[in-house]
Structure 1
Amino acid sequence: MLNGASEFVNQLAIAVTTIVFNRTALSFAGEDGVAAVSIIMYLQFLFIGVYFGFSMGMAPPLSYAYGNRKIRICRKLESYARRFFAVAPIIIYALTYFLTPVAVSGFADTSSPVFPIAVSGMRVYGLGFLFSGINIFAAIRMMAYGKGYFSGLITFLRSFLLLLLFLIVLPLKFGLTGVWLAVPAAEALTLLVAVWFLRPIHC
């Protein structure tokens, strides 16, 4: 249960922050803002699914090598992850920026007032993809090494504590744009902590 704490925190955070996202967007853009939040949330799962897929795929061999004290294999696998995250975040954000109008059009008509809100919001929100992949991998990596408490800390920061803080603070200064900026800000600050946990581990 302790090792799986990060997954519990992640699911709880989704429930709470979705409510806060909707209420904040409602106060700035009414029902159109809530609709835009829903579209952005759907698209977010599509893009970060790449990060989760890669990280969850790496977890079993990492955990197996760690259990067998095969440090060379651990380091080799982690070198693959470094190469992946040196390129993937840039590609994913580029796809997010340029394909967002097409993706949003699958949920809202281009003449709808929701369309420009969702497009501009997704492009700002998507900045978080530049940082979230490393944070997700760091959390899953620590869970693979049986250090679920560190994994839970990373997840708690990125998807709960810092996100709620920025959802409260940033809209006061930037309005609706501040709502979309909350995720990139939370991910960027969490990255500072995640990097610490990405140090070479002794198997």
Structure 2
Amino acid sequence: QSVFQSLFITAEKPRLGLIMTVAAGLTNMVLDALFIAVFKWGLVGAALASGLSQCIGGILPLIYFLSSKNDTPLKFVKTKMEGKVLLKACANGASELMTTVSSSLVSMLYNFQLMRLAGQNGIAAYGAVMYVEFAFIAVFIGYSIGTAPIVSYHYGSENHNEVKNMLQKSFKIMSILGITMMVLAQILASPLAKVFVGYDKQLFDMTVHGFRLFSFYFILAGINIYASSFFTALNNGMISAIISFSRTLGFETLAVIILPIFLQLDGVWLAITVAEICAFVISISFLIAKKEKYHYA
């Protein structure tokens, strides 16, 4: 499903890619209700629903690209094994690998710190914050993934002005979105927290306070995510991985360990913002250092 999203964008069919994603999500929702609420299959039902929904997102696009009605430039053809190309592609995608692995490791560290400082309420508050955070951050990720093939195309075609144009416009968009999301998070913290933890006043107050501190990271998150994706699109997986690794594992790990020593529970909520500030310095430094090489100055 993930691979086909990039292929739909490259094939100039982003709307069809969105339809497939929505179809997979709706399948998951419907099957969750059917398997858990109706058939009473519990955790097994939830797992089965998730697996089948991913099949929808993976198999339907496969059928589309195999179909004779596929009117896009992308076709399945017989090819030989190109190990070097595949290896280079894997290396170029190392940043996305590091983001996923790092997120899991950092989440465990957050849970440890929150359990130590706030007990089970801390874990529950973090869970609620993460549900909302994922919806917000998905906008940044979606934009970065969606524009990466455009950057790659123009870079490969040596349309340097278009690469520069994409970079400048994307930074403006990410900056505006980041500030907007931070403001929305401040305003919506209370009603959103009520949806998840409104049943407990103490937990509710902790979640609202935590989310408002946590939300400052939205201001720079989009820029850092785009910078990492931008270098991936330029076929520089190393720099992309460094940016991704530093923001999700390096700086955030250090921040979530060190800040609670001085700020207690608030230090946990602010750790990700401190990490994004440090990663922002790294992102800007690489963008300045490589502007001549990639001609987007």
- TMscore range, shorter length: over 0.9
What SS does structure 2 have at the residue aligned with 1:43? helix
Q: CA deviation at 1:112?
A: 3.2
Name the structure 2 match of 1:187.
276
Indicate yes or no: 2:123 matched with 1:123: no
> Which residue in 2 is equivalent to 1:169?
258
Highest RCO, 1 vs 2 (Cα 8 Å, sep ≥ 6): 1
Q: Which residue of 1 aligns with 2:295?
A: 202
Provide, for residues 105-157 of structure 1, a one-character-per-residue CA deviation record: whole Å limited to 9, x for no partner. 11111543211111110111111111111100000000000001100000111
Q: How does 1:23-172 map to 2 (within 5 A)?
A: 23-109=112-198, 111-172=200-261
Q: Unaligned stretches of 5+ in structure 1?
A: none
Alpha-carbon distance in structure 2 between the residues aligned to 1:44 and 1:16: 17
TM-score (norm 2): 0.66
Which runs of no fewer than 5 residues in structure 2 stay unpaired? 1-89
Note the C-alpha offset of 1:38. 0.7
Once the two structures are superposed, residues 43-99 of structure 1 have per-residue CA deviations (whole angstroms, 9 ceiling, x without a partner) of: 111111111111111101000100111112112222221321331111110001101
Judge which range, 151-160 or 51-60, deviates more: 51-60
> TM-score, normalised to structure 1's length?
0.96
Post-superposition offset of 1:104: 1.2
Root-mean-square deviation (Å): 1.2
CA distance in 2, matches of 1:133, 1:69: 26
The structural deviation recorded for 1:182 is: 0.5
Quick one: distance in 2 between partners of 1:67 and 1:35?
A: 47
Give the fraction of aligned pairs with identical amino acids, expressed as a percent.
30
State whether residues 25 and 179 of structure 1, in contact with CA within 8 Å, keep that contact through their aligned partners in structure 2. Answer: yes
Is the deviation greater in 32-41 or in 110-119? 110-119
Q: Which structure: larger Rg?
A: 2
CA distance in 1, matches of 2:206, 2:234: 42
Deviates more, 1:173-182 or 1:47-56: 47-56
Rounded to whole Å, the distance in 2 between the matches of 1:116 and 1:18 is 22
Map residues 14-29 of structure 1 onto 2, 5 A cutoff: 14-29=103-118
Q: Measure, in 1, the Cα distance between the counterparts of 2:285 and 2:246.
A: 14
Runs of 4+ residues over 4 Å off in structure 1: none
- Aligned pair count reads 203
